[in-house]
A and B are shown apart, each in its own frame.
Chain A
Amino acid sequence: MQIQPILAALRRHKAGTLLIALQIALTLAIVCNALFIIHQRLSHLSEPSGVDEANLFVIENFWGVQYSTQEASSEIKADLAALRQLPAVEDAAPSNSYPLRGGGWDNFISLTPEQIKPTTDASVYISDESLIHTLGVKLIAGRDFTPDEVRDMGTRENIHPPVVIVSKAMADKLFPDGNALGKPLYSMSAEPTVIIGIVERLQREEVNTWSAPFVNQSLIWPMRQAIPIGLYYIVRAKPGQLAAAMQEAPKALYGRNRMRIIDSHDGLLSFAQVRQRAYNRDRGMAVLLGIICVVLLAITGAGIVGLTSFWVGQRRKQIGVRRALGATHRDILHYFLTENLLISLGGIAVGVLLTFGLNLWLVTRFELRVMPLAYVLSGVVILLLLGQGAVFAPALRASRVSPVEATRPV
């Protein structure tokens, strides 16, 4: 295939050529960056939380009465007993929060009491000896709490329990040598708290950008949140009985003591809903960008079809002449395919620069990471295929132009 005549022809259609090339360049830049963001968001979305999500739900329980610490504590114990008696319930635990809640309590963690700059930051969960079983997290070292280690925590009490269970991510961060068990850590207090257990994975309460450096770093303290406002109950249903358990649980609680508030909208959430809320933004961005990519590619494809059709229409006479001079169907088809390839390559050359420019701008402006080359390569392939695909129909029509056209006036 001769490229020279194609280039010569393109020189006579500068505007159209430039427009298609520019469109391809911009599409490449937007699609590559969008794909990159989609991938980042989706991988964030599928991060495991470490808990038995399929069977878990949470109840946000506000008290309707201003209980004292003792009263609240015994109410909580009675509530838990009532929950555990339900046929569909496997276990239940009291808590101040739960993974992926979207915010809550986190503490700076240091290795020595006098340390000024903290070593890391931990999401804080407080609960009793039933939390680990209820969440279904795996204890990989040490032991669980014993019932006598669990204390009641009243309003604004400043307790620093002597023992703590930490997530493996947290243990590894504090003690990279892997000997965290039995070691003390200091959490905004001069009193040590000793690591007695390590769980395999326990995601933090919030998964936003701020929290990203501390992903999966969390700790559990043996305390019951016996404050007048209320607390969360984390409930694990027996396998396959989540819906039944979610229906029974609030009834059982109201049946036992109706002076409480479980919000009809947010008070009862399955873990699937929790996850959906936590990653709402990530999923939303991925959906939006996906739609933009698809529509953008469709529009660029349609634009190529439109302009090539116009060119074919314009050149019927020339095509006829070529056919009359012995060019085959295939030659004509190849001519238009090659023409598109040349334009696409030109557009892609500019587009790659634009892609990296846009990525750089997103990096500085929105704290995105630098894009790996693979995205650009896949973007290039997508656009080349799109161009060839879009040009195929008009090119086929061109190849069917009869040599007789050469003799007709346009």
Chain B
Amino acid sequence: MLAYYFRLGVRSLLRNPILTMLMVLTIGIGVASSMTTYAVFRAVSANPLPEKSLQLFAPQIDIWGPQSRAQGADMPDALTYTDAMALLRDKKARRQTAIYPVNLTLVPQDERSEPFAINGYAAYADFFSMFKAPFLYGGAWNMAQDDTHAAVVVISSQLNQQLFQGSDSVGSTIRLDDHDYEIVGVVDGWNPKPRFYDVNNSDGFNDAPDIFLPFTRGIDLQINTNGNTNCYGSAGRNPGFDGFIHSDCAWVSYWAELPDAKAEAAYRDYLTNYAADQNRAGRFHWKPYITLRNLVEWLDYEKVVPPETRISLWLSLGFLLVCLINTIGLMLAKFMRRAGEIGVRRALGASRKEIWTQFLFEAAMVGVGGGVVGVVFTGLGALSVGLVFEPDIARLARVNTGLIGLTLVCALVSTLAAAFYPIWRASRVQPAWQLKSN
């Protein structure tokens, strides 16, 4: 029977090729636009570390007072060096790290090669275990090396490829900005997207960082931050690097790992008390105010998903809705035109259920056709998202089997949903009436 419905469907669709094409194209374009924008949206709104995202927290402390938060401005999304060091000393979280981005010059050992710029982060030993960085060779430096301001470095597998042709480089030395560092580990292509620990400085979708070095070493060598520095007030600061790090300028990112709700509550209290202590010490002159956001809340707070991605997703869904309404109209026209045929089939004994099956089959064929067109257009869309989004974000939209499957399913499901009303109408055709009017 199904083969018969299949033949009926093909014949019916071929009878009005233009109408059929129109339906298939409408579904295909509608689904493709939604899928393309969804692919981008899914990529930028992804959770980069799902298994730990509710245990990693970024604190903020009100260092400039309530006036600085007037006019909708918020607290700085980083800490001052002073506060970050105080929190690190107290070690109230299971793991914690201060982080700042650096940009250095790498001078190759090979005299003939030109020096080149690399970027990375200064961080503490906990950084790697907190953020589950996978290692290809070696591992992180240890806390003792943090304390001794060791000249060690963890490099990316990409840099390892470039400098050491991918061989185990642990124990080798590289020269950054006129200083030697011993390689202790090579991270294995690690680049969480978005790069949650740096979204306060960047859009979070850049190429993987090349190196990581101990924060304490970076400060010793007076390596400047390559990220944002936020200052406030007219007090000014003392000159030089020392004056800078002891100023009220915020530039140090800080993350704490708190395993459960109890630890989180305790850490909140700890931060509030810390701010209150600063009041007592005469540094702050306002009611203590702190925030503690987990990774997911932090990405939301930092607006990592560009508004453009959201607007385009919503618009594409609106677009798909119009396409579906259009399809309903066309199918209604197509099915009702065959009221006579339906009347004959019903009169010859076909049940409503059989009419349903027949037309669902026909709609499914349109859906599959729309899906195929949709996959083609989604492919074109993914190639051309560069027109709409910045390169960093556009390249996240990749067509993979998951997306192709989703496109097909989406096309089929939405076509069947659109076909529901026209089929219902078709199944209600009164055979007697049809036969009589002829």
Contact = CB atoms under 8 A, between A and B. Distances in A.
A158 B337 contact: no
Contacts of A110: 234
Contact of A156 (B241, B322, B325, B438): B241
B95 to A, nearest CB: 30
Given A23-B326, A261-B115, A303-B330, A313 B337 contact: yes
A224 B353 CA distance: 83
Contacts of A37: 311
A189 B236 contact: yes
B236 A22 contact: no
Contacts of B103: 62, 229
Interface stretch (B48-56, B86-94, B383-391, B400-408): B383-391
A260 to B, nearest CB: 8
B308 interface: yes
B70 A288 contact: no
Q: How large is the interface on B (under 10, 10 to 19, 20 to 34, 35 or more residues)?
A: 35 or more
Given A63-B105, A295-B29, A366-B311, A158 B239 contact: yes
A193 interface: no
Contacts, number: 164
A409 to B, nearest CB: 7
Contacts of A36: none
Most chain A CB within a 10 A radius of its CB, from B177, B306, B311: B311
A258 B234 contact: no
B387 A296 contact: no
Interface in B20-77: 22, 26, 29-30, 33, 67, 70-71
Interface stretch (B139-147, B161-169, B192-200, B312-320): B312-320
Nearest to B242: A156
A302 B319 contact: no
Interface in B206-241: 222, 224, 231-241
Contacts of B70: 117
Given A20-B329, A158-B236, A281 B390 contact: yes
A57 to B, nearest CB: 20
Interface string A276-319: 00001100110111001001100110110011011101100000
Given A108-B232, A189-B236, A292-B33, A303 B310 contact: no
A30 B308 contact: no
A74 B20 CA distance: 74
B210 to A, nearest CB: 14
A9 interface: no
A26 B321 contact: yes
B372 interface: no
A188 B26 contact: no
A366 B244 CA distance: 37
A23 B239 contact: no
B390 A66 contact: no
Interface in B321-340: 321-323, 325-326, 328-330, 332-334, 336-337
Interface in A17-37: 19-20, 22-23, 26-27, 29-30, 34, 37
B26 A299 contact: yes
B4 interface: no
A155 interface: yes
A288 B312 contact: yes
A64 B115 contact: yes
Nearest to A306: B330
A296 B311 CA distance: 16
A227 B103 CA distance: 13
A354 to B, nearest CB: 10
Contacts of A114: 234
Nearest to B390: A280
Interface residues of A, number: 66
A23 B389 contact: no
Contacts of B105: 62-64, 261
Contacts of A26: 318, 321-322, 325
A47 interface: no
Nearest to B229: A105
A23 B115 contact: no
B308 A302 contact: no
A314 B241 CA distance: 84
Contacts of B110: none
Contacts of A300: 322, 326
A228 interface: yes
A191 B236 CA distance: 9
Contacts of A186: 234
A310 B337 contact: yes
B117 interface: yes
Contact of B234 (A19, A115, A310): A115
Given A64-B105, A259-B115, A299-B26, A284 B244 contact: no
Most buried by B among A20, A27, A287, A296: A296
Most buried by A among B240, B328, B329: B329
A284 B437 CA distance: 56
Contacts of A190: 234-236
B307 interface: yes
Contacts of A15: 332, 421, 425
Contacts of A295: 29, 33, 319
A157 interface: yes
A191 B237 CA distance: 12
A136 interface: no
A63 B178 CA distance: 12
B326 A302 contact: yes
B240 A156 contact: yes
Nearest to A298: B29
Given A22-B325, A62-B105, A261-B115, A156 B26 contact: no
Q: Which 8 A-B pairs have the closest CB atoms?
A: A310-B333, A284-B388, A303-B326, A64-B115, A19-B329, A156-B244, A288-B388, A189-B236
Interface of B: 19, 22, 26, 29-30, 33, 67, 70-71, 103, 105, 107, 114-117, 177-178, 222, 224, 231-241, 243-244, 306-308, 310-312, 315-316, 318-319, 321-323, 325-326, 328-330, 332-334, 336-337, 387-390, 421, 425, 437-438
Given A16-B333, A23-B326, A37-B311, 16 more contacts: A22-B325, A23-B325, A155-B224, A156-B244, A158-B243, A158-B244, A186-B234, A261-B105, A284-B388, A285-B308, A299-B29, A306-B19, A307-B330, A309-B333, A314-B336, A410-B438
Interface of A: 15-16, 19-20, 22-23, 26-27, 29-30, 34, 37, 62-66, 108, 110, 113-117, 155-158, 160, 186, 188-191, 227-229, 258-259, 261, 263, 280-281, 284-285, 287-289, 292, 295-296, 299-300, 302-303, 306-307, 309-311, 313-314, 362, 366, 409-410
26 contacts: A22-B325, A23-B322, A27-B322, A30-B318, A34-B315, A63-B105, A66-B177, A108-B232, A155-B222, A158-B238, A188-B236, A227-B224, A261-B105, A281-B306, A284-B308, A284-B388, A284-B390, A292-B315, A295-B29, A296-B319, A299-B326, A302-B22, A306-B22, A307-B333, A314-B336, A314-B337
